[in-house]
Every structure is written in C-alpha cells, then in structure tokens.
C-alpha cells in the first residue's frame, strides 16, 4: 500500500486514561497505539504519521477556535499526504465534521473523523477497530469529502449525529444513507460520494458569540428570544421548531421578536426538532408565519450542521441576501435541495 496518511490526535475518549477523577485526555497516544497493533498486521495498513496536539481537549470543551486549528493543520499538510484521519471526542464530533466540511469546500482527498466510546488503553475497547477502519478507508478508497467513521459505518460528516451515549453504534445519519458499510468487506456507495474538486480552504476567524441555537418548547417566553437576539455580536440563530417547522405563532410577542431580528439583519435558520424529516414552512399556517417574517427554512439539515454552517458563513463575512441564499441551499451535501 503506497498511500500515506496523517493522523491528527486532538483529544477525546479514544486517547484518555482513567484517573481518580474519571477519564481525561492524556499525551502519548502513539506509543499506546503501537502497543495495541499486532506487528504482523501493520504491513496491511497504510503508512502514517501522527501529530498529537499539545493541548488535548475533552470534546465537551470544544469551541469554534478548535475547528480553525484543525483546518489549518490539514491545509498545512495537504500536499504531503493522501488522506487524513482526525481523532476526536464523540460528544461534538458531528459539529466538527460539519464545520470542516464547510471550511474545506473543495477536496480531492478523504478527511475521516473517528473516536471511540471506550479508550484505547482499556482491554475491551472499540478504539482500535474504529482507528484501523478509518486508516484503511483513508488509504484505500477514493473519498473526497469529510466523513465520520464509527462502528463500521461511513457517514457524510455534515449528516452525522451522535444518537447513542452508551453503545458502540453511537453515530448515524438519520436523513441520509450511509456512504459505506465495513463488515467482512468494505462496501462503499460510490454513487453517494461527493465528486472530487480542486482543494480549497476557507478558514474564518470565529466569533463564538455570533451564533446561538434555541429549541422551541411549550410556553417559551418571548422575552427569552428577545434577550438572546439583543446580545451584542449576534448574527445568526438556529431555531429548532416542532414537526415540519412549526412555531407557536399564537404568541404574537415571540413572532414579533423574530421579525424584528430578521429585519435587523440577523439570519434565522429554522430546523426541525425531529430526528428524521425536513422543515416545510407553509405546510401549516404556523410555519407560513415564518415565511412571512423572513425566516429561512433549513430543509433536513441536522442541528450540528446548521450551527456549524452559520458559524462558518458568518465568520467568512457573509451577511444579508448572500448569507440567506447560502443558508437556503446545500453547499456540501448537508441537506436535501
């Protein structure tokens, strides 16, 4: 196998060790990996190098600046490697996979995120299998997009979600078929993959306060929406509504707050709270209200991808009609047109 892969170890459960305070990220991942790999089998893996970040994070502590750091590392080493594996914590892996897909809008190589539910250092773990599978996919398959590989599933990164906290099958893509399945054989659904394109990197300087996400709930106070949208620096809101995109339109104060926000230049992206299905503003009169006040329907985009898309686009300086237009269509296969 002639391909060469770069592994980025950013932190997460896969490299944690047990302490008196629970699992924490620890340096020295490469040595632990070599201890786990059977030397008789390493010849079947692609050649790889590993970069271990000096500051490892539990992914619950992830902030948008970490996306910037990962993307810059990929850009810096893009020409030297044939594929990339990013080791990441599971809690926010879907957010990072989504953000990277928008910051890397042109790809000719695979970027595959993986991690584990049990650390590599534990005798019984899912870490080694996930990492080996990700390496084989990055080294063997003509993938040109950001993916999540977990428990034998290859998922489009910006369609992925963590759907279970206590199973090895932690990730799925509820609104899009898997890109591949790894069992006895590697079954890649090539017709679903994005086509390769000229590599391009668009890495913004993020303002973590620019985008917020609020779920609608019965009796949600209008002043909660008002207060959030009046905070300095707010440029986008992901609004999670009921069913096919229905808000409580009987609450006139809440609708007025949303209308004032859109009139003031804040982009509001409406997504469904349902795990499966899409927003269809106008199917019900309640949803049609959002059409009238300028809220953007998010189709079947995931919350993670919606948040990341707004963060990246506003970080790149988009505003007004260009931002609305970009939010309303798929950029990297993140939603159905």
Looking from the CA of 94 toward its CB, the CA atoms found within 13 Å total 21
pLDDT at res. 194: 97
CB atoms inside a 10 Å sphere around CB 201 = 15
Per-residue confidence band for 1, with pLDDT thresholds at 50, 70 and 90: low
Nearest to 82, CA basis, from 53, 44, 112:
112
With a pLDDT cut of 70, the percent of the chain lying above it is 98
Separation of alpha carbons 61 and 147, rounded Å: 22
C-alpha distances in Å from residue 175, one per residue of 166, 231, 247, 258: 22, 33, 22, 27
User: Which CATH architecture group holds 4-192?
Assistant: 3-Layer(aba) Sandwich (3.40)
pLDDT for the residue 141: 74
Query: In the chain, which segments carry CATH 3.40.50.1170?
Result: 4-192
Tokens, residue 102 = 């928008």
Euclidean distance between CA atoms 14 and 91, whole angstroms: 12
Say how far apart CA 271 and CA 249 lie, in whole Å. 16
Tell me the CATH architecture of domain 211-327.
Answer: 3-Layer(aba) Sandwich (3.40)
End-to-end CA distance of the chain: 38
Over 70: is that where the pLDDT of 77 sits? yes
Each residue of 218-236: pLDDT tens digit?
999 999 999 999 999 999 9
Bigger pLDDT: 27 or 336?
336
Alpha helices by DSSP H, the chain? 29-36, 64-77, 93-103, 127-140, 222-229, 252-263, 285-293, 303-315, 320-327
- Quick one: tokens of 46? 């692609």
Alpha-carbon span 170 to 150, nearest angstrom: 7
- The Cα-based distances of 215 to 99, 212, 246, 311 in angstroms read 21, 10, 12, 18
Give long-range contacts, CB 8 A cutoff, 24+ apart: 277-281: 277/175, 277/243, 277/244, 278/175, 278/244, 278/335, 278/336, 279/241, 279/244, 279/245, 280/244, 280/245, 281/244, 281/245
More confident residue, 3 or 89: 89
**Ramachandran angles phi, psi of 72, nearest 5°:** -65, -35
Across the chain, mean pLDDT equals: 94
pLDDT tens readout for residues 144-177: 999 999 999 999 999 999 999 999 999 999 999 9
Q: Which residues are catalytic?
A: 13, 90
Residue 168's CB is within 10 A of a number of other CB atoms, namely 16
Q: What angle do CA 306, 127, 161 make, to 5 degrees?
A: 15
Q: What pTM does this model have?
A: 0.95
Mean pLDDT of the 47-73 span: 94
Q: What percent of the chain lies above the pLDDT cut of 90?
A: 84
Contacts of 177 (CB under 8 A, 6+ apart): 189, 192
- The Cα–Cα gap between 282 and 298 comes to 13
């Amino acid at each position: 196998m002639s391909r060469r892969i770069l592994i980025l170890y950013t932190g997460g459960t896969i490299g944690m060790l047990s302490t008196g305070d629970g699992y924490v990220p620890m340096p020295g991942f490469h040595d632990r990996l070599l201890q786990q790999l059977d030397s008789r089998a390493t010849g079947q893996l692609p050649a790889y190098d590993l970069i271990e970040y000096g500051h490892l994070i539990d992914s619950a502590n992830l902030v948008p600046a970490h996306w910037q750091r990962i993307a810059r590392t990929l850009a810096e080493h893009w020409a030297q490697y044939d594929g990339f594996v990013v080791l990441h914590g599971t809690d926010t892996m879907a957010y990072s996979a989504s953000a990277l897909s928008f910051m890397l809008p042109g790809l000719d190589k695979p970027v595959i995120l993986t991690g584990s539910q049990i650390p590599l250092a534990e005798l019984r773990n899912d870490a080694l299998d996930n990492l080996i599978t990700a390496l084989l996919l990055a080294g063997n398959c003509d993938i040109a997009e950001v993916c999540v590989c977990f428990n034998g599933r290859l998922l489009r990164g910006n369609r992925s979600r963590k759907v279970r906290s206590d199973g090895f099958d932690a990730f799925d893509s509820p609104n899009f078929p898997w890109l591949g399945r790894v069992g006895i054989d590697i079954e890649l659904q090539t017709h679903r993959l994005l086509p390769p394109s000229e590599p391009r990197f668009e890495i913004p300087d993020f303002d973590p306060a620019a985008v917020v996400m609020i779920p609608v709930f019965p009796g949600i106070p209008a002043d909660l929406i008002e207060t959030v949208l009046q905070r300095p620096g707010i440029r986008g809101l992901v609004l999670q509504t009921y069913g096919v995109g229905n808000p409580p339109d009987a609450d006139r104060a809440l609708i007025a707050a949303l209308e004032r926000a859109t009139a003031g230049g804040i982009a509001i992206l409406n997504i469904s709270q349902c795990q499966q299905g899409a927003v269809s503003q106008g199917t019900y009169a309640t949803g049609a209200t959002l059409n009238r006040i300028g809220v953007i329907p998010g189709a079947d985009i995931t919350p993670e991808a919606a948040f990341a898309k707004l963060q990246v686009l506003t970080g790149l300086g988009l505003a007004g009609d260009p931002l609305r237009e970009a939010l309303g269509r798929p950029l990297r296969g993140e939603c159905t047109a």
